[in-house]
Amino acid sequence: MALEVMDYDRSEHRGPRAGTARAWAWGVVAVASLIALPFVAGRPAGAVGRPAAATCSGPTYTVVAGDSWWKIATNNGVSMTALLTANNATTSTIIHPGDVLCLPSPGATPTTTVPPTTRPPATGGLSIRQFPVQGTCWFTDTYGAPRSGGRSHEGVDIIAASGRLIYAVDDGTLTKQYIDAPGALAGNGWRLMRADGTYFFYAHLSTFATGLRVGSVVKAGQILGAVGMTGNAGTPHLHFEVHPSGGSAVNPTAVVRAVDGCGTTAVPPQPGTPPSTSTPTTASSTTVPPTTAPRTTVPPTAPPTTRPPTTVPPTTVPATTSTTPVPPSTVPPNTTPPGVGPDARWRFVAPVLSFDTNGRPLTPGATRAIAATSLTGVPASATGVMVRLAVRNATSGGYLTVHACDTGVPAASTLTIVPGRANATMTVVRVVAQEICLTGNTAAEVRVEVVAFVTTYGVGVEPMSARRAVDTRTGRQLAAGTLLTVTRASLGAPRGAAAVTATVTLLSPAAAGSIGIGPCGGTPWVVAYSTAQAQVFSGVVRTNDAGVCITSTTAVHVVVDISGVWHGTTPLLPTGPQRLFDSRTTGAITTAITTIRPTLAAGSTRAMLTVTVVPGASPGALYVWNCAGARPAASVVSTAGGGTSATVLLDVSTGSICMASTGSVHAIVDLVAAG
């Protein structure tokens, strides 16, 4: 795993943006430096590691994957300034796995400090009523410190976990909003102005609070958004400036220190209904006897090598007249999972590693309990998490199931594994005792990252009739190293949407490589792909008001279909996975409409599904929609020969789900969440 670059504020909302090329981790081929990443890979070949500053007179610490200066200081109970001093380092010093650092004694006062290069202007007695960041955080005086392009630092950097709430420091009006986009230094940010003309500048937010816009009047303590690392930031933090009477910035360190709230986790009373935030932000192992295995076992299948790009069909399905009804599922009605409130929403965080087999494949049939909370940005109290899975080096085809640890292995699957293709997805799962469980039926290397958690001040979901956001087959392939921007309008996402649920189909790649997809100007999700002519992966893709940006290391055709957006307040509760439908017991899905009537909890209007096409399917596409509406213009998954799993958001308000395909396929539907 890579390490964070702790040069956490190379530049702000003025001046040219510093270079932001970063390297991909976990053996993924680099995806061009067009999208900035918050990590650097482990030590480059031939590089010389930074040795410890001096012979350590006290305890030492050996750097491991995922560490940062701030994380090491926090976990060892020492101040970051003392840690840096003990190692003759600065926040810009890069550390690598295996480096040995000197640890100061807890509470030690360093003999030297990291002073600003210029004396700060006086604040003239200015004060604020509310500390701007929630919970555990850290800051020091770096006002005036040099920045790239000959600039100097004009604020204070409050280092905090991604997703921590950000508050209005005083009553005032939001007079300017900064939107993260390529080249934007501030990333997502606000300008909050008081009645006396003094304004406060917030930068690098991962999220904006829903309902706020330029002109909104806010109260001290009102939630404005959440901590992130958008723009030119190398680690999650809030850059905060104070401009008395609308003039030049003054040193805000004393101002925020006077109301220091780094130990305060309670959310201040909110005006009216609390706004929700919308993101533009060593596991134990236990062997559990498996229960009935999922019915989605995939036999070893050689990936197709000659299939043409037309494996993703046109955006319409031939008209049919026959309908095949399917009786209601025998799955008992869902109930709200214990510990998950009915108002549960989702807050996105910077991806944090939960589990990695590190070259040692999972044991087929064994269940692994892995950490889900108490991770960076993910509180111990979270009752549900969203995770993304990546599988490589599978010895044979099979399945992987992510599930709650108190239920045994369900007869359902999360990801169908096909060797020689892209194998990646996202799902949501209930957390029990801060853990989730992972079970597979084939030996494969697996990596699990947490990207969101259940919370009160988060976003809900809004399904949509599946729409095609991009299809490069109408023109040229996405060229290696070029950036493809998919606008918010193309995605069908409203302003302030946190993410979209997308199915990504890759066709005719020029060579094996990696694709990066994520918020423009932000950190993308990187998925490795092979030379197979048709490959599919799906999941929840972060976005912002600039849209979604895609880049690839090799030339490839890209098709992106959207089935929903993460926005608003409608909750979504982890409920499974549990099997709703299996066409192998009722007959293949064809151009004729098949109707499914699942039994869901009373009041459920939205569902998150895993839809799997069984191997051996004919080329084509599978369509899934609410039977009350028209057949959608885009498919939820290309069959591409089968063995493909897709994550789908669906409106289930009428209690019936319709399916059809352009070919004859067997499909399986598993329920993951409902609300």
Using H for helix, E for strand and C for coil, what is the string for 373-393? CCECCECCCCCEEEEEEEEEC
Classify residue 472 by its DSSP letter: G
Quick check: is 1 in a domain? no
Regions of the chain short of the pLDDT cut 70: 1-54, 65-67, 70-71, 74, 91-92, 106-125, 146-151, 182-183, 234, 273-343, 616-618, 639-643
**CATH code for position 181:** 2.70.70.10
Residues 617 and 560 in one domain: yes
End residue of a domain, out of 254, 275, 296:
275
Q: Rounded to the nearest 5°, which phi and psi values hold at 17?
A: -80, 135
What does the pLDDT read at residue 3?
A: 28
Total domains, the chain: 2
With residues binned 3-state (H G I as helix, E B as strand, rest as coil), the percentages for the chain, rounded to 5, are 5, 35, 60
Establish whether the linkage from the previous residue to 308 is cis, with ω within 30° of 0. Answer: no
pLDDT of residue 31: 38
Mark which of 275, 298, 325 sits at the end of a domain.
275
Same domain for 225 and 172?
yes
DSSP type of residue 474: G
Residues 241 and 365 in one domain: no
Q: Kindly state whether residue 55 falls inside one of the protein's structural domains.
A: no
Separation between Cα atoms, residue 264 and residue 284, nearest integer Å: 31
Residues 455, 458: Cα–Cα separation, whole Å = 6
pLDDT tens for 163-210 read 889 999 999 999 999 988 766 788 899 999 999 889 999 999 988 988
Domain residue limits at 488 = 309-674
Final residue in a domain of this structure, among 255, 275, 295: 275
Please, are residues 558 and 541 in contact by the beta-carbon 8 Å criterion? no
What is the helix (H) or strand (E) element at residue 82, kind and residue range? Answer: helix 80-86
Task: Please check whether residue 110 lies inside any domain of the structure.
Answer: no
> Can you give the pTM of this predicted structure?
0.58
Does residue 94 form part of some domain? no
Per-residue model confidence (pLDDT) at position 24: 31
Encode pLDDT of 34-88 as tens digits.
333 222 233 333 333 344 445 788 888 888 766 677 668 767 777 777 788 888 8
246: left (phi over 0), alpha (psi -120 to 50) or beta: left
Q: Please list, residue by residue across 158-168, b when 16 or more beta carbons sit within 10 angstroms of its beta carbon and e when fewer do.
A: bbbbbbbbbbb
Co-location of 660 and 578 in the same domain = yes
Q: Looking at the structure, do residues 342 and 405 belong to the same domain, yes or no? A: yes
Same domain, 271 and 313: no
- The structure tokens listed for 229 are 């690392």
Burial group, residue 321, by CB count within 10 angstroms (0-12, 13-18, 19+): exposed
Tokens (6 digits) for 136: 């555990």
Task: Give the CA angle between residues 33, 446, 639 to the nearest 5°.
Answer: 80
69 is a domain residue: no
| Residue 421 is assigned to a structural domain of this protein | yes
Q: So what's the pLDDT on residue 37?
A: 29
Q: Return the closest-CA partner of residue 2 out of 93, 66, 91.
A: 66
Q: Is residue 596 part of a domain?
A: yes
Claim to verify: residue 241 and residue 321 sit in the same structural domain: no
Note whether 239 and 336 are same-domain residues.
Answer: no
Residue 538: inside a domain, yes or no? yes
The tokens for 13 are 């909302």
pLDDT score recorded for residue 114:
32
Peptide bond into 577 cis (omega under 30): yes
550 in the same domain as 592:
yes
Q: Identify whether residues 223 and 179 lie together within a single domain.
A: yes
The Cα 46–Cα 37 span in angstroms is 23
Q: Do 243 and 156 belong together in one domain?
A: yes
In the prediction, which pLDDT does 243 show? 92
- Note whether 501 and 598 are same-domain residues: yes
